[in-house]
Structure 1
Amino acid sequence: MRELSGDANFAVPAALIGDRTRARMLLALLDRRSLPMSMLATEAGVAQSTASAHLARLVDGGLLSVERSGRHRFYRLASADVAHALESLARLSAPFTPNSLRSSTRAHALRAARSCYDHTAGHLGVAVMGRLIEEGGLSGGDGRFHPEDAVHDRPAAPGRDLAYEVTAEGWRLLGSIGVERPRTSRPLVRYCVDWTEQRHHLAGAVGAALLDRFLARKWVERRPDSRALRVLPAGEDGFRDWLAIDPRDPAPAA
């Protein structure tokens, strides 16, 4: 993470994010996908000509990167730091009040299960990490955010206060659904303080490998117009058999 100094000009990215149209585009990319301008324009509810101008500003401001594929340009968040900033701002924002059945359903879907950059968040992500802890698969913490004891941890941000580790039982549980120890220089286990649940969800290389496995086994699928994840019939059985999680009500008990 880049060190901050007194001359950090955060007014520039703040102004870029603060526009409603650009904010909606950024949130649509929070699941680490690359999306074309046409889809981002639809997400923001603007014409493609308007979307083009906004996307150019986001690229110039370092919040998005763009790649050309044939006649199309695909946009994605420039870094994990951008994703973390967006999650944090979402937590600081005023409570979301849906003004339609569609937005109400979408808000519920995001809280139930969603991707946070490359790992699982929401009720489902919190439940998976909580059950791994309860089953002795993770050590180092209890999966809860304790604001009174927090030093660096804060809502809607990557966790820094605890050092979780996968135990031998954890590798057995992960292996039972086909997740092997990732061979990477990336930290194996990280966590985020989930912005809707105020508990920990699993990040790092293991968190990314789990989401990849959930998708490969067709336990979940990405929704085409959102970073929400839809639990499929195979997942209803899979999560229940694997960690006794009911995907219809996956949040752990208080």
Structure 2
Amino acid sequence: MKDGPDIARIAALIGDPARANILTALMSGRALTATELAAEAGVTPQTASSHLARLRDGGLIAEAKQGRHKYLRLASPDVAQVLEALMGLAAGQGQLRTRPGPKDPELRQARVCYNHLAGDRGTQMYDSLVTRGFLRAEGEALGLTEAGAAFVEAFGIDHAALARGRSALCRPCLDWSERRSHLAGSLGRAMLQRIGEIGWARRIEGTRIVRFSPQGLRDFDATFPSTSVQIAPQVRPD
């Protein structure tokens, strides 16, 4: 068929190795400079500039200016969701990077997927919320139940403010390492932010790793158990 969206154009943009490395670097959710992205892609600044222009024209990245500096970021959460799904597909087909190292186990345990929690801890949180009836499927979408809204409020998140926002509140995102869903949307973003605020975990600079403290991991497991038993959030005072 010749009608419908042109997926070949988007696939060609993502399919170039240098551009794929640039997009993967932006999965951290942070805006980076062209120089930083050239280093991530392993190309010269001039070559990176050409790749960035193509990604920008294709709607996959956006530019932000701060003073005299320009920063690049992913254009939208939809782009991040597609990239994470492609990572899962590549992993399932055995298309893995050839430079494994100490960071790999940490990335699989907990990492940032654009602006929400992914990895083993991300899928654990998602499964716990679904099993306990806090999240439920609404057609092809994902919704927060009344009990879920109360849980979110008890966890220290303003559910009403999130619900008024323009972004989708809850959205499943296929996790590339777990091959199961983790929680995206404005609630997924707020959950990750709250986990940092209460000191359970912190972002590791220059990586996508989210590193939990021993106590934070215990609190996380108590708050998001993989069980049907409903347990009150274990949140320490701010």
Do these two structures clear the TM 0.5 threshold for a shared fold by scoring above it? yes
The equivalences for 1:203-242 within 5 A come to: 203-242=184-223
The structural deviation recorded for 1:162 is 5.4
Distance of 2:193 and 2:76 partners within structure 1: 19
How far the C-alpha of 1:210 sits from its partner, in A, is: 0.6
> What residue ranges of structure 2 are gaps of 5+ in the alignment?
227-238
The answer as to whether partners of 2:88 and 2:179 remain within 8 angstroms in 1 is no
Identity value in percent = 38
* 8 Å CA contact retained: 1:29, 1:227: no
Amino acid at match of 2:28: D
Asked whether the equivalents of residues 112 and 210 of structure 2 are also in contact (C-alpha less than 8 Å), the reply is yes
For 1:37 and 1:232, locate their aligned partners in 2 and report how far apart those are by CA, in whole Å: 33
2:94 aligns to what?
A: 95
Distance 1:98 1:26, change over 3 A: closer
The gaps in structure 1 that reach 5 residues or longer are 142-159, 246-254
CA distance in 1 between partners of 2:129 and 2:4 (Å): 42
Aligned to 2:12: 15
C-alpha displacement at 1:189, in angstroms? 2.4
| Corresponding residue of 2:110 | 113
TM-score by length of 2: 0.79
1:161 has 2:161 as partner = no
Pairing 1:202–2:202 present: no
CA deviation after TM superposition for structure 1 residue 68, in Å: 2.1
The whole-number CA distance in structure 2 between the counterparts of 1:218 and 1:139 is 28
Q: Which residue of 2 aligns with 1:171?
A: 149
Give 1:77 deviation, angstroms.
0.9
Correspondent of 2:26 among 22, 26, 29:
29
Residue 48 (structure 1) shift: 2.7
Give the direction of change, closer, same or farther, for the CA distance of 1:226–1:69 in structure 2 (3 Å limit): same
* TM-score, normalising length: structure 1: 0.74
- Secondary structure of 2:169's counterpart equals coil
Which of 55-64 and 176-185 deviates more? 176-185
1:73 partner SS: strand
SS in 2 for 1:30: helix
CA contact (8 A) 1:171 1:180 kept: no
The 2-side partners of 1:125 and 1:217 are apart by: 17
| Equivalent residue letter for 2:181 | H
1:77-108 CA-to-partner distances (Å, cap 9, x unmatched) read 112232222122223324244433xx333333
C-alpha RMSD of matched pairs (Å): 2.7
Q: Report the secondary structure of 2:182's partner residue.
A: strand
SS of equivalent to 1:206:
helix
Bigger share in helix: 2
Aligned length: 221
